[in-house]
Amino acid sequence: MPVEPVITTPEPASPPRKKPFYTGLSFQVLAGVAVAVILGYVNPTMAISMKPLGDVFIRMITMIITLVIFCTLVTGIAGMEDMKKVGRVGGKALLYFELVSTMALLIGLLVGNLAHPGSGFNIDPKTLDARAVAEYAGQAKAQNITDFLVHIIPNTIVDAFSKGDILQVLLVSVLFGFALSIAGPRCKPLLDVMESLTRAVFGVVAILMRFAPIGAFGAMAFTIGKYGLASLGPLVKLIATLYLTSLFFVVVVLGLIARAAGFGILKFLWFIREEILLVLATSSSEPALPNLMAKLERLGCSKALVGLVVPTGYTFNADGTSLYMTLAALFVAQATGTHLTLIQQFTILGVALLTSKGASGVQGAAFIALVATMMVIPTIPVAGMALILGIDRFLSMCRAAVNMIGNAVATVVVARWENELDRGALAQQLAGHQAAPEASQPI
């Protein structure tokens, strides 16, 4: 008697278990910041001693950034068959950067004239301690276009990497990428090694990002302990003006640009929330650069385009710094009773277009750039910068975050222009349909 086969239906695969919320990078960074604020308020002395934790984390990320830029840019350019496309992408990106940065400078100038954040101070410049700003004034140099272009070329290739100058590393990376592309199959083994090195570098980044909550805690604890929440009181109008203006710029200006490119700004901000929190806590956009590049690739932007646009944007697309520079310059003029004509205000804007370049990512660089800008208008007392020196850390948090967000939006926009964007992946990731891996896991 034949035996009928037993038909078994496979059990449906169980959905992947969702990780507990407390294992997420965003929660851990937020928790670190919250504990830091409490410690800074309760025990300022101990909070100030936490500064090395933040400094060490930033240095750990900074030490790997030049390798991240070099590897991604070289492999990206070498992977592009059409070298004309590299020039076209770079040209479009630079055009976008200049247009949006100029818009940010104009908005800062407009808000400064409307809100008058420095009115009511009536400070005599002679009573200010000029020594507090002397160190920054010594570092500030009035840089013309020729000086800027000469600075791009490093003394040696090693010098570009040892100094960590992003602009110089960009030049070296572009040259190497072009050379590998021109050589073609003869350099294929070297290109394979570069791609393997890229994966290894991002593996190092994944390890380092596990320390992000500790670094965020140390940086924020120092800020609150050193300056205190009470120090914000007299200058709360300037701080509120910058933060509200930045919020308007991100939600409205960048929001309209994002909508034109086919995505919503709020969902995009949520997608890069870990990077935003990290930048706010450390007051620097550099620690978020490696993870931001990995996330933009996951969002559907091509690897080659991300490798080209993001590092370039970190130098040329400082939207937050642009907002800060014109707004802060008007604040100092208003606080010291210095009248600025319309021509003088536009002179500040024109100079800031140049001095703001290269000010993103590095703590304090925007302050130095602002001093250099104000030195062009002798009627503004540079000593007036001492007014905002004590709160510059709080202002730096805002401008660094806007710099990073503006750079991320720019990358997606340029990718859309060049048809280097997977719109399906973009929609899927922003909708949250896929379980988004940890931002600290770029590979």
Listed by start position, the domains of the chain span 23-431
Per-residue pLDDT, averaged over 198-223, amounts to 84
* Residue 361's pLDDT band (cuts 50, 70, 90): very low
Helices of type H across 43-165: 44-48, 51-79, 83-115, 131-139, 145-152, 157-163
Report which DSSP code applies to 381.
Answer: -
Quote the pLDDT of residue 185.
75
Core vs surface per residue 103-137: b (16+ CB within 10 A) or e: bbbebbbebbeebebbeebebebeebeeeebeebb
The HSE-up count of residue 224 (CA atoms within 13 Å, CB side) is 23
Q: What is the pLDDT of residue 440?
A: 39
Number of helices and strands in the chain (H, E): 22, 0
Mean pLDDT, residues 301-308 taken together: 83
Q: Look-up: residue for tokens 């992977």? A: 79
Whose CA is closest to 245, among 387, 395, 409? 395
What string of DSSP letters covers 74-103? HHHHHH-S-HHHHHHHHHHHHHHHHHHHHH
Single pTM value for the model: 0.76
Whole-number Å distance between alpha carbons of 331 and 115 = 10
**What's the pLDDT score for residue 267?**
92
| Amino acid 438: pLDDT | 41
How far is Cα 314 from Cα 58, in angstroms, rounded to an integer? 16
138 burial (CB, 10 Å; 0-12 / 13-18 / 19+) is exposed
Q: For residue 441, is pLDDT > 60?
A: no
SS3 call for 421: strand
- Lowest mean pLDDT, pick from 294-298, 336-340, 418-422: 336-340
Rounded to 5°, angle at Cα 209 from 191 and 33: 150
The set of residues, in sequence order, having a beta carbon less than 8 Å from that of 52 and lying 6+ positions away, is 218
pLDDT at 207 over 70: yes
Of the listed ranges 51-60, 236-245, 377-386, 425-434, the one predicted with least confidence: 377-386
Question: How far apart, in Å, are the Cα atoms of 114 and each of 256, 304, 330, 331, 338?
Answer: 23, 43, 11, 11, 16
Distance CA(248)–CA(267), nearest Å, equals 16
pLDDT for residue 269 is more than 80: yes
Lowest mean pLDDT among 58-72, 81-95, 166-180, 373-387: 373-387
The SS3 assignment for 301 reads strand
Stated as kind and residue range, the H or E segment containing 336 is none
Return the CATH number of 23-431, one of 1.10.3860.10, 1.10.12.10, 3.30.390.10, 3.40.50.360. 1.10.3860.10
User: pLDDT at residue 434 above 90?
Assistant: no
In this structure, which amino acid lies at residue 125? P
| pLDDT given at position 265 | 93
Determine which of 128-132, 179-183, 363-367, 384-388 has the lowest per-residue pLDDT on average.
128-132
Mean pLDDT computed over every residue of the chain = 78
- Which of the pair, 219 or 149, is modelled with greater confidence? 219
Average pLDDT value for residue range 17-31: 71
User: What pLDDT, in 10s, does the model give residues 99-132?
Assistant: 998 999 999 999 989 988 877 776 766 665 555 5
Kindly indicate the confidence band of residue 147, based on its pLDDT and cuts at 50, 70 and 90: low
75-89, 120-134, 345-359, 368-382: least confident range: 120-134
